Structure 1
Amino acid sequence: MMRFIKPFIMPAVALAAWGTALPASAQDKGPIRIGVPTAIQLQIGRDTQTGVRMAIDEINAKGGVLGRKLEMVVADETENPEQGIAAIKKLTADEKVDVMIGGYTSGVTLAQLPHIARSKTIYMEVGAASPAITQRVKSDYDNYKYIFRSFPINAAHQARGLVDFISGMLKDEMKIQNIAIVGENAKWVQDLVPILKKGATEAGANVKLSEFFDTSTSDFSPLLAKVKDSGAQYLIVILSHASSDIFVKQWYDARFPIPIGGIDVKGQDQDFFSRVGGKAISETVGNFAVRAPLTAKTLPFWDAFVKAAGTAPVYTGVGGYDAVHIYAEAVERAKSLEPDAVIKELEKTDYTGVAGKMVFDETHDVKAGPGFVNLLFAQWQADGKREVVWPKQIATGKMIPPPWMQVQ
């Protein structure tokens, strides 16, 4: 069941100028419907809805788009491809939404793509990271031009962000050269790891071990033993669907003599530290947005989200919020809801969002790199506080070792 957020106006966040409203006859067409396919049982899904709702409330408070209000319709795609396809069919065939903003699991999104294409409905991805999702746009534009990834940056870009962390923080700052890489056996990780290994090696790190594990793994002790025997000084962990809670608890309880960090999606949750009884201390987690002045919109959005939801957002909350604004501005420029006209305007997007500047490349994938959206690294520290430790220019604190290890 979706969670409803009480409408509110957030004047601190800069709003787009929507232009002259259309005559009353335009308003008679009813609301513009935004479909949200997401895994509603996870914080990923709850935060997508909150971010979308916040943007809708802001835009409606300014008169809507083309003289019409926006409304949200949610469908639970869970983490299952069949259910994900059913969610798309519900939103497009039954609910007849004008656009879809959501997603989480790359495998589910890839299964949904043909159905999205047949529906000829614009879909703005805010959760899944596999580059294969937007490659369909490049290989078959006429059928897949409806697909955009507005958030997060794709797995290849994330790999390059991890390489920067390994090169800059681990190798240069901490003098750590030997690393191990372990990741769940999922599509987005399969896309990420080869790029990460190659980049880390080229940066001068020694990859002592690289291994995948099943997403249903509940005993990580054999894997941790392999990492310890490899001679690694730091463990890069990449997981989203596997149990971060179990992994971190077993790492902590074993007093494992190697620090951990990487991309731990559930480790981004605001309640993660308390959920694992403080055992995430010193884990460094890749994030796409934190409460730091990344843009003029970051802090106002962050504080308003916490006020609305009672918790800090994970990345899909940021992505959902920005995607609504990007779509609304494209519709205003197109002066139409007709998909082809809106797509042409989306392709011209140059938008400063919560996490950075947002521009789409030729595959409809959001760009990464200097001046755009990038991967940040925040470490869980005492009392569940998160400190940004990399990149150096926006760091809010210094990196600490696990409490049972001496400072290296």
Structure 2
Amino acid sequence: MRHYGWAAFACAMLAPGFITAARADGPPITIGVPTSVQLEVGRDSIDATQLAIDEINAKGGVLGRQLRMIVADETENPQEGVAAINKLTADEHVDVLIGGYTSGVTLAQETHIADSKTIYLEVGAASPSITDFVRRNYKRYQYIFRVSPINAAHQAEALIDFGLGKLKGEAGVEKIAIAGENAKWVQDLAPILKAGLEKGGMTVTSVDLFDADTSDFSPLFTKIKASGAQYIMVVLSHANSDVFVKQWYDAKLPIPIGGIDVKSQDSDFFTRIGGKAVSETVANNIIPVPMTPLTMPFWNNFVARFKRPPVYTGAGSYDAVYIYAEAVARAGTTAPDKVIPALEKTHYVGTEGLCEFDAQHDIKYGPGFISLAFAQWYPDGSRVIVWPKEIAKGAMNPPPWLAGKP
């Protein structure tokens, strides 16, 4: 069983040393934010970046310079994503890029980022292929870093831990179905998840990847029910999980659901689908518990200012601004060839855990680093952490129509 050790963090940079009281009299340091502005993941990335910028600027900026932000909408389309990168780098000449959401879009952007020689701190996409560019050709792609989320392979490990520890170990689930969208990050994740669950003694009754625009899930639910599965492990981000979860609820499917459902991390997900998310258990990167000494200050400040809780891209963007600012301060310049070595030495206690990069510029995962907390939607619309055991705050309950049944 994995022990996360989140409570073991003894300190955090609540007042980072790179923030100076000196008057900011140099040209501004410009942060370009390419993201999907029409989605909450995009809005939270923008707002959290601004929150961090304002905090740093209020204390004097970095190297006597203020920070400012420029946003470009990359939508969820690779062509638009490339246009957003070109706008920010060629037209706006930003010093750094902080953003991203869709793996396919980010992968399409990478050659353009490399050509621009602009540092890119990615905070939304999970495909391991993103930082594999760095491993295969460091000289060309050294500008690429992933701050958040943990990559799809590591997310699979967290799901395996949840499946074997919580579902099998505590709830006695033996048979599990995997259902997810047919996207690059899920294609990377699903084989690892299946192999890990089976190695741990569970039976994976089916693995189904469906188009993101699927609107009728009844055939899938019928197939999964017939397979004998006792739990559906979902892996969703771009798919219409509002429809997926509502149809699961309306069908009163006798199988609980949970896993990774990015839209179910939205603060309004429960209410916007009429409470039908009840009992869904979702992996979260950021949740209002003291994962580190920075978690609750960030959470409370974000909620107070923007009147909604943040999702994972908000936490990742906030941390990315501080990580970049600290690296610039250590380097004494914004020149990428000086800042990149400083970024590679990052040791920063952020909102989600200890942030360090591995050799291919991917964020590290595991005990003491960043991981996932699994929270269940309760009938009153609250989210309660049920896994890992060390930080669990309540029991994982079955769907209402299965309550009391063996």
Q: TM-score range by the shorter chain?
A: over 0.9
SS in 1 for 2:293: coil
Q: Give, as a single letter, the amino acid of the residue that structure 2 aligns with 1:105.
A: T
1:322 maps onto 2:319 in alignment: yes
Q: Give, as a single letter, the amino acid of the residue that structure 2 aligns with 1:152.
A: P
Does the 8 Å contact 1:13/1:300 carry over to 2? no
Q: Match for residue 216 of structure 1?
A: 213
Query: How many Å apart are 1:193 and its aligned residue?
Result: 0.3
CA distance in 2, matches of 1:269, 1:20: 35
Give the alignment's TM-score, normalised by structure 1. 0.95
Q: Match for residue 201 of structure 2?
A: 204
SS in 2 for 1:181: strand
1:62 maps onto 2:59 in alignment: yes
CA distance in 1, matches of 2:21, 2:110: 34
Structure 1, gaps ≥5 residues long: 1-11
CA distance in 2, matches of 1:255, 1:18: 55
Match of 1:335 among 332, 336, 339: 332
CA distance in 2, matches of 1:313, 1:203: 34
Does the 8 Å contact 2:148/2:363 carry over to 1? yes
Q: Match for residue 379 of structure 2?
A: 382
Q: Match for residue 14 of structure 1?
A: 14
Does the 8 Å contact 1:137/1:364 carry over to 2? yes
Does the 8 Å contact 1:248/1:279 carry over to 2? yes
Match of 1:298 among 282, 289, 295: 295
SS in 1 for 2:401: coil
CA distance in 2, matches of 1:156, 1:388: 22
Give the alignment's TM-score, normalised by structure 2. 0.95
Query: How many Å apart are 1:293 and its aligned residue?
Result: 1.0
Higher relative contact order (CA 8 A, sep 6+): 2
Query: How many Å apart are 1:376 and its aligned residue?
Result: 1.2
Deviations 1:10-34 (A, max 9, x none): xx98120126677x7xx55410000
Q: Give, as a single letter, the amino acid of the residue that structure 2 aligns with 1:254.
A: A
Q: Match for residue 110 of structure 1?
A: 107
SS in 2 for 1:173: coil
SS in 1 for 2:380: helix
SS in 2 for 1:383: coil
Query: How many Å apart are 1:251 and its aligned residue?
Result: 0.2
CA distance in 1, matches of 2:304, 2:225: 43
Q: Give, as a single letter, the amino acid of the residue that structure 1 aligns with 2:107.
A: L
Q: Give, as a single letter, the amino acid of the residue that structure 2 aligns with 1:17.
A: G
Residues 105-254 of structure 1: pairs in structure 2 closer than 5 A: 105-254=102-251
CA distance in 2, matches of 1:133, 1:13: 29
1:19–1:59 distance in 2 versus 1, CA, 3 Å: closer
Q: Give, as a single letter, the amino acid of the residue that structure 2 aligns with 1:250.
A: Q
SS in 2 for 1:389: strand
1:394 maps onto 2:396 in alignment: no
Match of 1:99 among 96, 99, 104: 96
Does the 8 Å contact 2:13/2:349 carry over to 1? no
CA distance in 1, matches of 2:19, 2:74: 36
How many pairs were matched up?
A: 394
Deviations 1:203-249 (A, max 9, x none): 11110111111111000000000100000000001111110100000
CA distance in 1, matches of 2:25, 2:91: 21
Residues 23-34 of structure 1: pairs in structure 2 closer than 5 A: 27-34=24-31
SS in 1 for 2:402: coil
Query: How many Å apart are 1:255 and its aligned residue?
Result: 0.4
Q: Give, as a single letter, the amino acid of the residue that structure 2 aligns with 1:98.
A: D
Q: RMSD of the alignment, in Å?
A: 1.2
Q: Give, as a single letter, the amino acid of the residue that structure 1 aligns with 2:239.
A: A
Q: Give, as a single letter, the amino acid of the residue that structure 1 aligns with 2:150.
A: I
Identity %: 62
Deviations 1:22-53 (A, max 9, x none): 7x7xx554100000000000000000011101
CA distance in 2, matches of 1:14, 1:337: 23
CA distance in 1, matches of 2:142, 2:373: 30
Query: How many Å apart are 1:396 and its aligned residue?
Result: 1.1
Match of 1:38 among 22, 35, 38: 35
Structure 2, gaps ≥5 residues long: 1-11
Q: Give, as a single letter, the amino acid of the residue that structure 2 aligns with 1:389.
A: V
CA distance in 2, matches of 1:18, 1:145: 24
Q: Give, as a single letter, the amino acid of the residue that structure 1 aligns with 2:83.
A: A
Q: Give, as a single letter, the amino acid of the residue that structure 2 aligns with 1:272.
A: F
SS in 2 for 1:56: helix
Residues 339-354 of structure 1: pairs in structure 2 closer than 5 A: 339-354=336-351
341-350 vs 299-308, which moves further: 299-308
Does the 8 Å contact 1:148/1:365 carry over to 2? yes
Q: Match for residue 85 of structure 1?
A: 82
Q: Give, as a single letter, the amino acid of the residue that structure 2 aligns with 1:114.
A: T
Does the 8 Å contact 1:13/1:301 carry over to 2? no
Deviations 1:326-377 (A, max 9, x none): 0000000000111011000000001000010010000100000000000110
Query: How many Å apart are 1:194 and its aligned residue?
Result: 0.5
Deviations 1:252-300 (A, max 9, x none): 0000000000100001000000000000000001111100010001111
1:366 maps onto 2:387 in alignment: no
Q: Give, as a single letter, the amino acid of the residue that structure 2 aligns with 1:234.
A: Y
CA distance in 1, matches of 2:43, 2:209: 29
Q: Match for residue 4 of structure 2?
A: none
1:29–1:63 distance in 2 versus 1, CA, 3 Å: closer
Match of 2:258 among 257, 261, 264: 261
1:405 maps onto 2:402 in alignment: yes
Deviations 1:137-170 (A, max 9, x none): 0000011000000000000000000000000000
